[in-house]
Amino acid sequence: MEAVTQLYYRYFPEKVLGEVLTKRWSDNFVPAFAALLVIGVFLVRDPAFFNLASLTETSRQLAEFSIVVVAMGIVLLAGGLDLSVGSVFALANITALICMNLLGWPVWATVCATLAIGALCGAVNGFLIGYLRIRAFLTTLVTLIIIRSIVDIILLHYAVQISAVFPDSELWYFIGEGTVLGFPVSFLVALVIIAAWHVCLTRARFGWHLSAVGGGRRSAYNAGLNVKRTVFLTYVWSGVLAATAGLFFAARLGSAGSDTGVGLEIAALTAAVLGGNSLGGGRGSVMKSILGAIVVLILTDSMVRVGISGGISSAILGGVLLLVVAIDVRWLKNRHKILNKVYVSPSYFRLPEMPETAAGSDSPYALNDRLRSVELIGKGEIEGPEDVIFDRADNLYCPNRHGDIVRFLAPDYRDWEIFAHIGGHPLGMAFDRDDNLNVCVGGMGLYRISPDRRVEKLTDETNRTFLSVIDDSRLKLADDLDIAPDGRIFFSEATIRYDMHDWAYDALESRGNGRLICYDPRDRSTRTILRDLQFPNGVCMAGDGQSFFFAETWGCRINRYWFDGPNKGRCETVVPNLPGYPDNINRASDGNFWVALVGMRSPALDLALRRPGLRKRMATRVARDEWLFPNINTGCVLKFSADGEVLESYWDLGGVNHPMVTSMREHKGHLYLGGLYNDRIGRLKLPDADPEWASQDFYWGRSNGGR
Amino acid sequence: MKMLKCLAASVVVGCMALAGASAQEGLKDEIRQPTLDMLKGKKVVFVPMSMSFDLPEGWAAVMQKDAERRGYQLDIRDANWSTDTGTRAITQAITEKPDIIVVQNFDVTSYARTLKKAQDQGIKVVQVNMRSSYQTDAFVGADWHGIGEYAANRMLEVCGKDKGKSGKIAIVQGPATAAASVYQLNAITATLKDNPNIEIVSSQTGDWDQSKARGIAQTVIQQNPDLCGIIGFWDVMDAGTGAAIQESGKDIYLITSGGGNKTACQGVENGTFDEVISYDVPGQGRDLISTISILLQSDKDAGEEKFVLYTPNKIITKDSLGPESCWDLDVLKG
């Protein structure tokens, strides 16, 4: 039975469901489903609709309509509403016809004039709404009426003359009716526009500003965005796009009819909302608009074909709109609940039998009280010193949870100062050959602080995993690092699925969500070298210039990875079965290595790791502070040799002086202890250690060219 | 239904055969069956402006009955007052390759190229009542020029300065580019041009909209208190024009035109309209089914032969009003 569970959790991609729900595009499921449903229904009812000739014609109409819907979507995204698109469409149509039929202008001049008219209409809307802060609904309703009146006046005087002439321009007819490789011209232009706006809204500054303004005008303003100009521009673009659609309409039909664009604003609004663009702003995309446009167009077209009379088809469209909006609203409201239920996706993991830790046993893990005599540095003055490190002048550096690097001054470490501020939560640290302090910052990435306190970002992204659902190119939780003799920085990222403070979720999953990453300062490249690790944590060079040790916290093991030499790419477990959860690893003066166990295993949790279903239920039904947690109230420091033998352990049974150990650093005969949730740094005299040994000098040499 | 009809037909034929056997043989109609076979199973698509008013409903009723009788298929695609929807309907229809498309144009240009495309694809196109500037295989409908001429001449008789009236008249058009507006207006201005007895004080577009027509008429009457007559271009829209006249309490002569639905007769009866020039929808329907029948029988290609059937007009006034003057949709359908 357990084997079945094991297979299921190894191969069934349960976590993908939750990851998909975190994506913004997962909002598109409802409209996409609606689109497929509509297409499916009419495919069954009316297969002739989907023959090639019919699809070509449909795509031509879809092109015009979807451009208008994209325009509406852009305005909606920025929190506005443009009811005047139908009138602008009509005005553009009549402008183009006047230019072509009456004035006899060349096509390029007609196109420019028409788009300029559209931009002008948009600019009027934009000025009134953006700069004078008049309500969008009223403003565009008024411009809808005014522009429509202008169109009517023009029609009264010129419609007959326009109708009497057919412009003598092949290009003009090509725009309206031509095809390229079987695709209508307007369709191809629409594709370009759609692609451009998709890139703009998702990748470009202007698009992000739009979403920001739509999501919260005040916040956008406080963030320093030019809200007025952004709003203004959305209407200008809306006008230009509506005019583009009107231009295609003019080229296609040459119609000076008075019904041009009547009701288009409602159809476009229906499509935009149906696609999932929020009426309140801040949420929307080009793809949503397109999906909505497809649904509305196919619905109306098919109803005409089936022979449903006008009034009833409008009613059906209205009904569909209501239904989809209702579904969409429910979806939005409940999406986070669903996400909370399904995102946490525990997997099967079986740990070997726990090693003996009883006091008095001959196990290297046997409990003792060797940490009881720890002296304290900076008690109550610092928060969250995850790691500690020393420079060549014996000053002590540690991070705190406010994003600072704190420096305690030698020799007594009584006085301290903020050495530098980075932000995030700095975690592991390492000095490089030139005495720069390299820091892994949770939530930010890999940073470097020069001796003159200049903070510089080294990297915050790596190559994205092929076909990964969540974007794992950003560094979420860079944890610990060490530097190869050639300057390459190897660091661990504990998990790509959770933020730092949700580490408990990752523990609950006990899946390999973490990875090892290499930053190469020579070409400033970053790439992932090892994936699917269980909360990779401490990293420490093995000393041979070809490999390093790293700890997998939830895996309770220490591995060695060769990045160079004959074994390049090999990864093997050197300490397989620890009694607790390993954290940082550092060098010891006697050639061995120190590792901190941040917490101890417990039989209950070990058993729960073999029951993913249990943990899943726990995650969804029980409050977080009632969960089975890794026990991080007790910890110890171990020493192990390069070939994986655990030599000795340092415990504090009372846990009074130093309750949690996440890292330790040996420096000049003392062992200094850091703890992620501690308010102090511990210092323990090591009687047998070399009193002159300092990690920095040992690794990089006593004298270096830089100083 | 078909089964029953066949059964009935065979019974009749059987009886006739028996009768024939007992009496003389008679002559068999040699071309009846081939003609019926030609019509059977053909497909006609009808794209009206909208199925929400009397004219298309009347035509559709007549055509539907004929289609059932002759065994061809009639599909109705409602353009629902939108040129764009109409164009879509026609382009869609083209891809289905029916035998005939019957269209009622919104205006003289919008469908022109699409209709040409249909003909190029070998589909015969009949335009009904509202023409496009592109002449297709057949046009069946009102003679707008003749209607305009008649209305203008009536105005000369009723409102001319030489008749002691002010000579001021107004025109309430449909959409400016609709065939009904274009050709009628052209006839009116041509007739009244250089005639000192009549002055057109206003010519505006009511866009087939009752309330718009009403608004136009109200304004014109206010601006010209001595207005003598109004020519409206469609009776359904001019119900609004007539209401404005009645509100003003003035005696303004209103001539309009329409399909001759019973509401037109009611309008004449209650004084909303003084004269209605009816282009007789049942008659047009008859012309339509004849045209369909002719085109289906013809072995000519689409666009090779072009003909026009103008509907004879009926003038409905209080004097000429009779029980047969107008038609009723329910009767037409039944």
Please name the residues in contact with A577: beta carbons below 8 A apart, sequence gap of 6 or more.
A351, A352, A353, A354, A355, A556, A557
Q: Which CATH superfamily is domain A375-463+472-700 in?
A: TolB, C-terminal domain (2.120.10.30)
Token pair of A140, please?
A: 């565009």
Residues B179-232 pLDDT 10s = 999 999 999 999 998 889 999 999 998 989 999 999 999 999 999 999 999 999
Query: For A115-173, how does the pLDDT look when each residue is reduced to its tens digit (9 = 90+)?
Result: 999 999 999 999 999 999 899 899 999 999 999 999 988 888 888 788 777 787 888 88
Chain B CB contacts of A257 below 8 Å: 83, 106-107, 110, 175, 177
Pick from A65, A74, A486: nearest CA to A278: A74
Which range, of A236-245, A463-472, B229-238, averages the lowest pLDDT? A463-472
| Close Cβ partners of B119 (under 8 Å, ≥ 6 residues apart) | B125, B136, B137, B302, B303
CB contact under 8 A, B77 and A307: yes
Per-residue confidence (pLDDT) for residue A176, from 0 to 100: 83
CA A688 to CA A67: how far, in whole Å?
A: 78
Angle of helix A185-203 versus helix A52-77 axis, rounded to 10 = 30
The closest CB to that of A304, out of B78, B81, B112, belongs to B78
Work out the minimum CA distance from B83 to partner chain A, whole angstroms: 7
CB contact under 8 Å between B182 and A163, yes or no, is yes
Which residues on A lie below 8 Å from B102 (Cβ)?
A: none
Q: A698: part of which helix (H) or strand (E)?
A: helix A695-700
**Dist CA A510 CA A9 (whole Å):** 11
Rounded alpha-carbon distances, angstroms, from residue A54 to A267, A293, B79, B126: 21, 17, 17, 22
Predicted local confidence at residue B8, as pLDDT: 59
Reference B216, options B198, B182, B243; nearest CA is B243
Sheet of strand A455-459, all strands in order from the earlier edge strand to the far edge: A425-431, A437-442, A445-449, A455-459
Q: In sequence order, what are the residues at sequence separation of 6 or more whose Cβ sits closer than 8 angstroms to the Cβ of residue A164?
A: B133
Same fold yes or no, B32-142+281-311 and B144-278: yes
Distance CA A51, CA A223 (A): 51
Residues of B in contact with A249 (CB under 8 A): 84
Q: What share of chain B is helix, strand, coil (3-state, %, to 5)?
A: 50, 15, 35
Cβ <8 Å between A257 and B110: yes
Reply yes or no on whether the pLDDT at B298 is more than 50: yes
CA-to-CA distance for A258 and A438, rounded, in angstroms? 70
Report CB contact under 8 Å: B84, A258: no
Are B177 and A57 inside 8 Å of each other by CB? no
Portion of chain A with pLDDT greater than 70, in percent = 98
pLDDT for the residue numbered A129 = 92
The CATH 1.10.3470 domain(s) of chain A lie at: 58-340
Whether residue B13 has pLDDT greater than 80? no
CA distance A137 to A128: 11
Chain B residues touching chain A at CB-CB below 8 Å: 50-52, 75-85, 87-89, 91-92, 94-96, 106-110, 112-114, 133, 175-177, 182, 204-205, 207
What is the C-alpha separation between B276 and B267, in angstroms, rounded? 9
Residues of chain B with C-beta less than 8 angstroms from the C-beta of A100: none
Indicate yes or no: CB of A155 within 8 angstroms of CB of B175: yes
Euclidean distance between the first and the last CA atom of chain A, given in angstroms as a whole number = 64
Tell me which chain A residues have a C-beta less than 8 angstroms from the C-beta of B110: 253-255, 257
Task: Tell me the CB-side half-sphere exposure of residue B183, using CA atoms within 13 A.
Answer: 18
SS3 assignment, position A538: strand
Query: B330 is written with which tokens?
Result: 């329910």
The nearest CA of chain B is from the CA of A68 a distance in Å of 14
pLDDT recorded at residue B47: 94
Among B82, B114, B177, beta carbon nearest to A159: B177
Q: How far apart are CA A644 and CA A573, in angstroms?
A: 8
Strands A636-640, A646-651: parallel, antiparallel or unpaired by DSSP? antiparallel
pLDDT at position A707, please? 39
Q: Which of B45, B50, B177, B186 is the best substitution to test chain A (most A C-beta atoms within 10 A)?
A: B177
Residue spans of alpha helices (H) in A14-167:
14-22, 29-45, 52-77, 85-97, 107-126, 136-164
pLDDT in tens, A62-112: 899 999 999 999 999 998 999 999 999 999 999 999 999 888 889 999 999
Label residue B34 exposed, middle or buried (CB < 10 Å: 0-12, 13-18, 19+).
exposed
Question: Please, which residues 58-87 of chain A have a Cβ atom closer than 8 Å to chain B?
Answer: 61
Angle (deg, nearest 10), helices A107-126 and A85-97: 150
Q: Do B82 and A163 touch (CB under 8 A)?
A: no
Both tokens assigned to A161:
């003359």
Residue A483, CB-side half-sphere exposure with 13 Å CA sphere: 24
Cβ contact (<8 Å) for A253 and B95? no
pTM equals: 0.71
State the burial class of residue A335 (Cβ atoms within 10 Å of its Cβ: 0-12, 13-18, 19+).
middle
What is the phi-psi region of residue B53: left when phi exceeds 0, alpha when psi lies from -120 to 50, beta otherwise? beta
Are the C-beta atoms of A318 and A252 separated by less than 8 Å?
no
**Residues B184-213, buried b or exposed e (16+ Cβ, 10 A)?**
bbebbeebbeeeeebebbbbbbbbbbbebb
Pick among A162, A166, A258, A305 to test the B interface (most B CBs inside 10 A): A258
Q: Scanning the structure block, which residue is given the tokens 């304290």?
A: A376
Nearest CA in chain B to A161: B177
Closest Cβ opposite residue A311 in set B52, B82, B106: B52
| Residue-level pLDDT at B187 | 95
Q: How far apart are CA A527 and CA B6, in angstroms?
A: 82
- Name the least confident of A305-319, A407-421, A658-672, B272-286: A305-319
List chain B residues with CB under 8 Å of A156. Answer: 176, 204-205
A490 contact B CB<8A: no
| N-term to C-term CA, chain B | 16
| Residue of B95, B116, B202 to mutate, interface with A, max A Cβ within 10 Å | B95
**Which 204-263 residues of chain A touch chain B by CB within 8 A?**
249, 252-260, 262-263
When the candidates are 1.10.3470, 3.20.190, 1.10.1740, 1.10.10, the CATH number that belongs to A58-340 is 1.10.3470
CA nearest to B105, candidates B30, B158, B178, B173: B178
Provide the sign of the torsion angle of the four alpha carbons A311, A312, A313, A317, taken in this order.
positive
Q: Give the gap in angstroms from C-alpha B155 to the nearest C-alpha of chain A.
A: 24
Nearest by CB to B95, from A51, A249, A309: name it. A51
Contact residues, chain A, for B177 at CB < 8 Å: 155, 159-160, 162-163, 256-258
What pLDDT sits at residue A297?
86
- Residue A529: CB atoms within 10 A of its CB come to 14
CB-CB contact of B274 with B228 (8 Å)? no
**pLDDT (mean) for A505-520:** 90
- Of B6, B16, B8, the closest CA to residue B40 belongs to B6
* DSSP line for A504-535: HHHHHH-S--EEEEEEETTTTEEEEEEEEESS
Give chain B positions within 8 Å (CB) of A255.
83, 106-107, 109-110
Query: What are the helix and strand counts (H, E) for chain B?
Result: 12, 12
Across A354-395, where does the E strand assignment appear?
375-377, 389-390
Tokens of residue A121, six digits? 């209409």
pLDDT of B145 over the 90 cut:
yes
Q: Out of A255-259, A293-297, A657-661, B15-19, give the one with best mean pLDDT.
A: A293-297
Inspect the interface and report whether the beta carbons of B84 and A249 lie closer than 8 Å: yes
Task: Name which CATH class applies to B32-142+281-311.
Answer: alpha beta
Q: Rounded to 5 degrees, what angle do the CA atoms A589, A590, A593 make?
A: 80
- Amino acid at position A252, single letter: R
β-bridge mates for residue B198, sequence order: none
CB A635 within 8 A of CB A578: no
Question: What's the helix, strand, coil split of chain A in %, to 5?
Answer: 45, 20, 35
Q: Do A57 and B92 touch (CB under 8 A)?
A: yes
Instruction: Provide the residue ranges of all domains of chain B, joining segments of one domain with +.
Output: 32-142+281-311, 144-278
Q: Kindly report the CA angle at A545 between A541 and A546, in degrees rounded to 5?
A: 90
What CATH architecture does domain B144-278 belong to? 3-Layer(aba) Sandwich (3.40)
Q: In 3D, which of A699, A436, A691 has the Cα closest to residue A587?
A: A699
Give the CA distances from residue A375 to residues A231, A371, A438, A583, in Å, rounded to whole numbers and listed in that order: 61, 9, 27, 22
Answer whether A257 sits within 8 Å of B78, measured CB to CB. Answer: no
**Quick one: pLDDT at residue B299?**
85
Mean pLDDT of B256-271: 91
Parallel, antiparallel, or unpaired for β B124-128 and B73-76? Answer: unpaired
Q: Predicted ipTM? A: 0.75
Give the separation between CA A515 and CA A526, rounded to whole angstroms: 13
Residue B151: predicted pLDDT? 95
Q: Say which amino acid occupies B121.
A: Q
Hey, which residues does B139 pair with through a beta bridge?
B127, B308
Q: Do residues A315 and A323 lie in contact, with contact meaning Cβ atoms separated by under 8 Å?
A: no
| 8 Å CB contact of B88 and A57 | yes
Q: Do B177 and A314 touch (CB under 8 A)?
A: no
- pLDDT band for A12, please (50, 70, 90 cuts): confident
Report which DSSP code applies to A586.
E
| pLDDT at residue A490 is higher than 90 | yes
Q: What Cα–Cα distance (Å) separates residue B15 from each residue in B4, B196, B269?
A: 16, 72, 51
Instruction: Answer whether residue B281 shows pLDDT above 50.
Output: yes
Q: Contacts of residue A61 in chain B, CB cutoff 8 Å?
A: 84, 88
> CB distance A256–B177 less than 8 Å?
yes
